[in-house]
Amino acid sequence: MSFSREKAGPVYRTVREVRGPLLVVEGVRGVSYNELVEVKLADGTEIIGTVLDVYEDRAVVQVFGQTEGLSLDVAVRFTGDVMRIPLSDDLIGRVFNGSFRPLDGLPEPIGYERREIFVSVINPAAREPPSEFIQTGISVIDGMNSLVRGQKLPIFSEAGLPHNVMAAQIARQSTVLGSEEEFAVVLCAMGIKHEEYEYFRREFERTGALDRAVMILNLADDPIIERIIAPRIALTIAEYLAFDLDMHVLAILTDMTGYCEALRSISIAREEVPARKGYPGYMYSDLASIYERAGKIKGEKGSITMMPILTMPGGDITHPIPDLTGYITEGQLILSRELYGRGIYPPVNPLPSLSRLMKDGVGPGRTREDHMEVSNQLYMAYAEGVKARDLARIVGELSLSDRERRYLRFAEEFERSFINQGVYENRPIEKTLEIAWDLLSMLPEDDLVRISEENIRKYHPKYRSA
């Protein structure tokens, strides 16, 4: 196994208790907190774990592999080191499972350096604030929720919505304006189905991205607990690519809901007092230790842009998984079943969506001076239109005022021609802004209060055609 350097360390056969993924081992000596443990099952299978709690000569070990086959007669070896993986540029193009075993038939990786996977904290003073606009070619993202290099922007989805198609489209089309560099993709799958993985694989293969990809796969039928380490392996690799090899990395983590379920099952096994819906109180900090690994560092060339995907249980955005994620990430893209039902792709509902870093990536010298204002105006007008639509459902369209009717028409046209686009349609930002202005010209000029008078004079179709 490739997590620890040495095969030394004493072996204990003194497991006194097995509780879910937890083993209580007694009579141990010199064991340290968070230490990597290797567990050999009766049938010879080896799995790994870490020390969660150590009290004198008693250690609680959490294993990361399958929990079937765990029993009192397993052999436990404490390695004397924390969990590490070997790193080298040979990892590029490879596929591993959640315990870092090769799935591509190639040999176990060897590296120049072994790096700890759990604790990695960028000094906030050393961070470079992300500010390079990424053109994804998707209007509702580029126009209203722009992504920048080094940002962590999740997709909040629901079962059955096309989040994977969208993530693949973003991976395929993303470019930084004025730069030729392509993204290296690190894909970490947690509990997704085989066909979903196959979809990503095919897409990456088709576009040649596979040669620049590293994949860590824990699929739906793999051990759930392995999901705790899979994203950490993926991000340790991403950090190596970004900050040692100067690459720009796009890390796709899917599905974070699968990850959080693993976290919950450990918490339950430990009989901890839960915070909300059975999820542990430390889930915020735990998720932060993953999401905050995205970013840029002063003086370094590379970057990690992160796109976690999660399915909101019951479509509920207040559920702890999307809720805590939204508190950590730099915005969120929210998919809507209603839009999807109306045949809109990508079904991103802009109203609750947000890119917190947009303001740093757009504007004069980056995209265009009117970009931020146009975005704000679209938000305001679309919100107005949605309100009118709700009203029309109650009182009927005929009872709407002229103004309300105008906004209703705006909202429908906006969904049809701005949000909606093809899976293979790659719209440059100028095109996105052009569509936006055409839509805004449906409204009286005096209503465009979020746009400066100068920019109206410069970009409003009425003045341009004249």
Partner 1 sequence: MSQQVGVIKRINGSLVVAEGLKGAKTGDAVYIGELRLIGEVIRISGNLVALQCYEDTSGLSPGEPVIGSGAPLLAELGPGLIGEIFDGLERSEVEFWKLTGPFMRRGVKITPLRRDKKWYFEPGAKPGDEVGEGDVIGVVQESSIVEHRILVPAGLRGVIESIEEGSFTVDDTVAVLATPDGRSVPLKLVQYWPVRVPRPYRERIPIDRPLITGQRVIDTFFSVAKGGTAAIPGGFGSGKTITLQQIAKWSDADIVVYIGCGERGNEMADILTNFPELEDPRTGKKLIERAIFIANVSNLPVAAREASVYMGVTIAEYFRDQGYDVAVIIDSTSRWAEALRDVSGRLEEIPAEEGYPAYLGERIAELYERAGRVVALGKDKRIGSVTIMGAVSPPGGDFSEPVTSTTMRFAGALWALDTDLAYRRHFPAINWLRSFTRYVDALEGFWIKLDSQWKMYREKALAVLEEASRLEEIARVIGERALPNDQRLILLTAEIIKEGFLVQNAHHKVDTYCPPEKQVKLLKIMMGFHDFASELVRLGVPVERIRSLRSVAELLRLKEKERLEEIDSAYERVRKDLEKLKAEYQVAR
Ligand X SMILES: Nc1ncnc2c1ncn2[C@@H]1O[C@H](COP(=O)(O)OP(=O)(O)O)[C@@H](O)[C@H]1O
Please report, as ranges, the residues that interact with ligand X according to CB under 6 A: 354, 356
Minimal distance, residue 358 CB to ligand X, in Å: 7
Chosen residue from 292, 307, 432, 436 binding partner 1 by CB under 8 A: 292
> Residue 82: which of ligand X, partner 1, none does it interact with, CB under 5 to 8 A by kind?
partner 1
Number of residues this chain uses to bind partner 1 (CB under 8 A): 83
Check residue 113 for interaction with partner 1 (CB under 8 A). no
If DSSP states are collapsed to H, E and C, what string results for 175-225? Answer: EECCCCCCCEEEEEEEEECHHHHHHHHHHHHHHCHHHHEEEEEEECCCCHH
Task: List the one residue from 11, 13, 26, 33 that touches partner 1 (CB under 8 A).
Answer: 33
CB of 219 to partner 1, least distance (A): 28
Q: How far apart are CA 209 and CA 216, in angstroms?
A: 15
For ligand X, give the closer residue by CB, 356 or 431.
356
8 scored as a contact of partner 1 (CB under 8 A): no
CB 360 within 8 A of CB 148: yes
Q: How far is the CB of 356 from ligand X (least distance, A)?
A: 4
C-alpha span between 266 and 7 (Å, rounded): 27
Burial of 439 per CB tally in 10 Å (0-12, 13-18, 19+)? buried
The reply on whether position 42 binds partner 1 by CB under 8 A is no
Nearest to 293 by CA among 93, 135, 52, 127: 127
3-class secondary structure, 35? coil
> Shortest distance, CB of residue 349 to ligand X, whole angstroms?
16
Instruction: Give min distance, CB of 124 to partner 1, in A.
Output: 4
Interface pick for partner 1 out of 352, 416, 438, 457 (rule CB under 8 A)? 352
Residue 432: name the closest of 416, 419, 443, 441 by CA.
419
Distance of CA 409 to the CA centre of its chain: 34
* Contact positions with partner 1 (CB under 8 A) in 357-386: 357, 359-360, 372, 376, 379-380, 383-384
Least spacing, CB of residue 81 vs partner 1, in Å:
9
Query: Residue 25 or 297: which CB sits closer to partner 1?
Result: 297
Residues 163-202 that bind partner 1 (CB under 8 A): none
C-alpha Rg value of the chain to the nearest Å: 25
d(CA 17, CA 236): 33
Name which of 118 and 199 has its Cβ closer to partner 1: 118
Site string for partner 1, 120-149 (x = CB under 8 A): xxxxxxxxxxx-------------------
Task: List the single partner that 96 binds among partner 1, ligand X, none, CB under 5 to 8 Å by kind.
Answer: none
Following DSSP, what letter does each residue of 323-377 receive, concatenated?
HHHHHHSSEEEEB-HHHHHTT-SS-B-TTT-EETTHHHH-STTTS-TTHHHHHHH
Name the residue nearer to ligand X (CB basis): 39 or 348: 348
Q: Please tell me the distance from the alpha carbon of residue 350 to that of residue 117, in angstroms, as a whole number.
A: 35
For residue 187, the cross-strand partners are: 215, 252
| Contacts of partner 1 in 384-413 (CB under 8 A) | 384, 390-391, 394-395, 399-401, 404
